[in-house]
Amino acid sequence: MAIAEPLGMLLLTGGQGRRLGGPKHDRPHPAGGTWGGHLVRLFREVFPSGPVQILGEPLSDIQDLMDTRITVVSDPRQGPAVALTTWAQSEPPLAVRWWVVPCDQVDWTAPALAAWYSLADDADPSGRGWVMVREGDREQPLGGFMGATLLPSLASFQETRVRDLVARLPRCIVASAAYRGLDVDVPEEMEAWKEANPDGG
Protein backbone atom coordinates (compact mmCIF):
# COMPACT_ATOMS: atom_id res chain seq x y z
CA MET A 1 0.00 0.00 0.00
CA ALA A 2 1.39 3.39 -1.03
CA ILE A 3 2.17 5.87 1.75
CA ALA A 4 1.26 9.51 1.28
CA GLU A 5 4.13 11.99 1.36
CA PRO A 6 3.73 14.82 3.90
CA LEU A 7 3.74 17.46 1.16
CA GLY A 8 3.47 17.67 -2.60
CA MET A 9 4.11 20.71 -4.77
CA LEU A 10 1.64 22.01 -7.34
CA LEU A 11 3.43 24.66 -9.42
CA LEU A 12 1.22 26.83 -11.63
CA THR A 13 3.02 27.74 -14.86
CA GLY A 14 0.17 28.25 -17.33
CA GLY A 15 -0.24 32.03 -17.06
CA GLN A 16 0.50 34.27 -20.02
CA GLY A 17 2.12 37.08 -17.99
CA ARG A 18 0.66 39.73 -20.27
CA ARG A 19 1.28 42.63 -17.87
CA LEU A 20 4.92 41.57 -17.54
CA GLY A 21 5.38 41.20 -21.27
CA GLY A 22 5.27 37.41 -21.57
CA PRO A 23 5.22 34.09 -19.66
CA LYS A 24 6.82 34.13 -16.23
CA HIS A 25 7.83 30.53 -15.55
CA ASP A 26 11.01 30.60 -17.66
CA ARG A 27 12.30 34.04 -16.66
CA PRO A 28 15.77 34.00 -15.04
CA HIS A 29 15.80 34.08 -11.24
CA PRO A 30 18.66 35.95 -9.50
CA ALA A 31 19.41 32.83 -7.42
CA GLY A 32 19.92 30.80 -10.59
CA GLY A 33 17.75 28.98 -13.09
CA THR A 34 14.23 30.05 -13.95
CA TRP A 35 11.49 31.36 -11.70
CA GLY A 36 9.74 27.99 -11.80
CA GLY A 37 12.95 25.99 -11.49
CA HIS A 38 13.98 28.01 -8.44
CA LEU A 39 10.73 27.05 -6.68
CA VAL A 40 11.12 23.36 -7.56
CA ARG A 41 14.70 23.31 -6.25
CA LEU A 42 13.88 24.94 -2.93
CA PHE A 43 10.93 22.57 -2.49
CA ARG A 44 13.24 19.61 -3.16
CA GLU A 45 15.69 20.98 -0.59
CA VAL A 46 13.02 20.78 2.13
CA PHE A 47 11.00 17.81 0.83
CA PRO A 48 13.39 15.58 -1.17
CA SER A 49 10.83 12.86 -1.92
CA GLY A 50 7.64 14.91 -2.27
CA PRO A 51 5.79 14.69 -5.60
CA VAL A 52 5.97 17.74 -7.88
CA GLN A 53 3.18 18.48 -10.35
CA ILE A 54 3.84 21.26 -12.86
CA LEU A 55 0.44 22.51 -13.98
CA GLY A 56 0.92 24.20 -17.34
CA GLU A 57 4.19 24.77 -19.18
CA PRO A 58 7.26 22.56 -18.61
CA LEU A 59 10.45 24.11 -17.24
CA SER A 60 13.69 24.27 -19.19
CA ASP A 61 16.11 24.01 -16.28
CA ILE A 62 15.07 21.05 -14.13
CA GLN A 63 16.36 18.17 -16.23
CA ASP A 64 18.78 17.37 -13.41
CA LEU A 65 15.80 16.88 -11.09
CA MET A 66 13.48 15.04 -13.45
CA ASP A 67 12.28 11.71 -12.15
CA THR A 68 8.98 9.93 -11.72
CA ARG A 69 8.06 12.31 -8.89
CA ILE A 70 8.10 15.37 -11.19
CA THR A 71 5.41 15.44 -13.86
CA VAL A 72 3.83 18.04 -16.13
CA VAL A 73 0.01 18.19 -16.12
CA SER A 74 -1.99 19.81 -18.91
CA ASP A 75 -3.60 23.18 -18.18
CA PRO A 76 -6.77 23.97 -20.19
CA ARG A 77 -5.74 27.67 -20.21
CA GLN A 78 -9.04 28.93 -18.82
CA GLY A 79 -7.59 30.53 -15.70
CA PRO A 80 -6.17 29.13 -12.44
CA ALA A 81 -9.53 28.05 -10.97
CA VAL A 82 -10.34 25.81 -13.95
CA ALA A 83 -6.74 24.57 -13.97
CA LEU A 84 -6.99 23.54 -10.31
CA THR A 85 -10.27 21.71 -10.93
CA THR A 86 -8.82 19.90 -13.93
CA TRP A 87 -5.76 18.92 -11.91
CA ALA A 88 -7.92 17.54 -9.08
CA GLN A 89 -9.71 15.36 -11.63
CA SER A 90 -6.40 13.88 -12.82
CA GLU A 91 -5.84 11.67 -9.73
CA PRO A 92 -2.71 13.37 -8.35
CA PRO A 93 -0.07 11.34 -6.45
CA LEU A 94 -0.56 10.67 -2.76
CA ALA A 95 0.32 13.51 -0.40
CA VAL A 96 -1.21 14.70 2.87
CA ARG A 97 -1.34 18.26 1.53
CA TRP A 98 -0.21 20.29 -1.48
CA TRP A 99 1.75 23.52 -1.65
CA VAL A 100 -0.18 25.39 -4.35
CA VAL A 101 2.25 27.99 -5.64
CA PRO A 102 2.28 30.13 -8.80
CA CYS A 103 5.58 30.55 -10.60
CA ASP A 104 5.61 34.32 -9.98
CA GLN A 105 5.94 34.02 -6.18
CA VAL A 106 9.67 34.67 -6.56
CA ASP A 107 10.41 35.57 -2.94
CA TRP A 108 10.32 32.06 -1.43
CA THR A 109 13.39 30.47 0.17
CA ALA A 110 13.86 26.98 1.56
CA PRO A 111 13.96 28.17 5.22
CA ALA A 112 10.78 30.21 4.70
CA LEU A 113 8.97 27.21 3.18
CA ALA A 114 10.08 24.96 6.04
CA ALA A 115 8.87 27.44 8.65
CA TRP A 116 5.57 28.08 6.84
CA TYR A 117 4.93 24.34 6.48
CA SER A 118 5.62 23.76 10.18
CA LEU A 119 3.01 26.35 11.14
CA ALA A 120 0.49 24.91 8.71
CA ASP A 121 1.06 21.38 9.98
CA ASP A 122 0.46 22.55 13.55
CA ALA A 123 -2.71 24.38 12.53
CA ASP A 124 -4.13 21.58 10.37
CA PRO A 125 -2.27 18.34 11.15
CA SER A 126 -4.65 16.09 9.20
CA GLY A 127 -4.69 18.19 6.04
CA ARG A 128 -8.44 18.75 6.09
CA GLY A 129 -8.49 22.39 5.03
CA TRP A 130 -6.68 24.94 2.91
CA VAL A 131 -4.13 26.72 5.09
CA MET A 132 -3.59 30.29 3.92
CA VAL A 133 -2.86 33.82 5.06
CA ARG A 134 -5.08 36.89 5.02
CA GLU A 135 -3.61 39.96 3.35
CA GLY A 136 -5.62 42.95 4.49
CA ASP A 137 -9.24 41.96 4.01
CA ARG A 138 -8.44 39.34 1.37
CA GLU A 139 -7.67 35.66 1.85
CA GLN A 140 -4.66 34.48 -0.17
CA PRO A 141 -4.83 30.75 -0.98
CA LEU A 142 -1.90 30.70 -3.44
CA GLY A 143 1.33 29.91 -1.67
CA GLY A 144 -0.78 28.11 0.92
CA PHE A 145 -1.30 24.41 1.63
CA MET A 146 -4.34 22.51 0.36
CA GLY A 147 -5.26 19.35 2.22
CA ALA A 148 -5.59 16.33 -0.06
CA THR A 149 -8.96 15.49 1.47
CA LEU A 150 -10.33 18.48 -0.47
CA LEU A 151 -9.51 16.98 -3.86
CA PRO A 152 -12.84 15.17 -4.47
CA SER A 153 -14.78 18.37 -3.76
CA LEU A 154 -12.40 20.45 -5.84
CA ALA A 155 -12.76 18.06 -8.78
CA SER A 156 -16.53 18.62 -8.85
CA PHE A 157 -16.49 22.44 -8.89
CA GLN A 158 -17.24 24.64 -11.90
CA GLU A 159 -16.10 28.00 -10.53
CA THR A 160 -14.01 30.20 -12.82
CA ARG A 161 -12.43 32.38 -10.11
CA VAL A 162 -10.09 31.09 -7.42
CA ARG A 163 -11.75 33.13 -4.67
CA ASP A 164 -15.14 31.57 -5.48
CA LEU A 165 -13.64 28.10 -5.56
CA VAL A 166 -11.84 28.53 -2.24
CA ALA A 167 -14.97 29.99 -0.60
CA ARG A 168 -16.61 26.56 -0.97
CA LEU A 169 -13.80 24.75 0.86
CA PRO A 170 -12.78 24.56 4.54
CA ARG A 171 -10.10 27.16 5.23
CA CYS A 172 -7.59 27.70 8.01
CA ILE A 173 -6.21 31.23 8.29
CA VAL A 174 -2.72 31.44 9.77
CA ALA A 175 -0.71 34.59 10.46
CA SER A 176 2.90 33.96 9.53
CA ALA A 177 5.92 36.10 8.78
CA ALA A 178 7.33 33.00 7.05
CA TYR A 179 4.80 33.37 4.23
CA ARG A 180 6.73 34.79 1.25
CA GLY A 181 3.93 34.99 -1.30
CA LEU A 182 4.97 38.22 -2.99
CA ASP A 183 4.00 37.90 -6.63
CA VAL A 184 5.34 39.93 -9.52
CA ASP A 185 2.89 41.11 -12.16
CA VAL A 186 4.41 44.20 -13.81
CA PRO A 187 7.97 45.27 -14.74
CA GLU A 188 8.10 47.88 -11.97
CA GLU A 189 7.43 45.22 -9.34
CA MET A 190 10.12 43.01 -10.85
CA GLU A 191 12.72 45.77 -10.77
CA ALA A 192 11.84 46.73 -7.19
CA TRP A 193 12.13 43.10 -6.06
CA LYS A 194 15.48 42.57 -7.82
CA GLU A 195 16.86 45.77 -6.31
CA ALA A 196 15.86 44.60 -2.82
CA ASN A 197 17.05 41.01 -3.43
CA PRO A 198 20.11 41.08 -5.74
CA ASP A 199 21.03 37.52 -4.81
CA GLY A 200 17.49 36.19 -5.07
CA GLY A 201 16.44 36.21 -1.43
Residue type, 170: P
Dihedral of the alpha carbons of 22, 75, 36, 91, in degrees to the nearest 10: 170
What span, in angstroms and rounded, lies between the C-alpha atoms of 27 and 16? 12
Scanning the chain, the segments in alpha helix (DSSP H) are 35-46, 80-88, 110-123, 151-156, 162-167, 187-196
**Rounded to 5 degrees, what angle do the CA atoms 8, 178, 136 make?**
105
Q: What pLDDT tens digit does each residue of the chain (201 aa) get?
A: 567 899 999 999 875 555 555 566 677 777 778 888 999 999 999 999 999 999 988 888 876 656 667 888 888 888 899 999 999 999 999 999 999 999 888 889 999 999 999 999 999 999 999 999 988 788 899 999 999 999 999 999 999 999 999 999 999 999 888 888 777 666 677 677 677 776 666
Under 8 Å between Cβ of 80 and 98: no
Q: What is the CATH number of domain 5-196?
A: 3.90.550.10
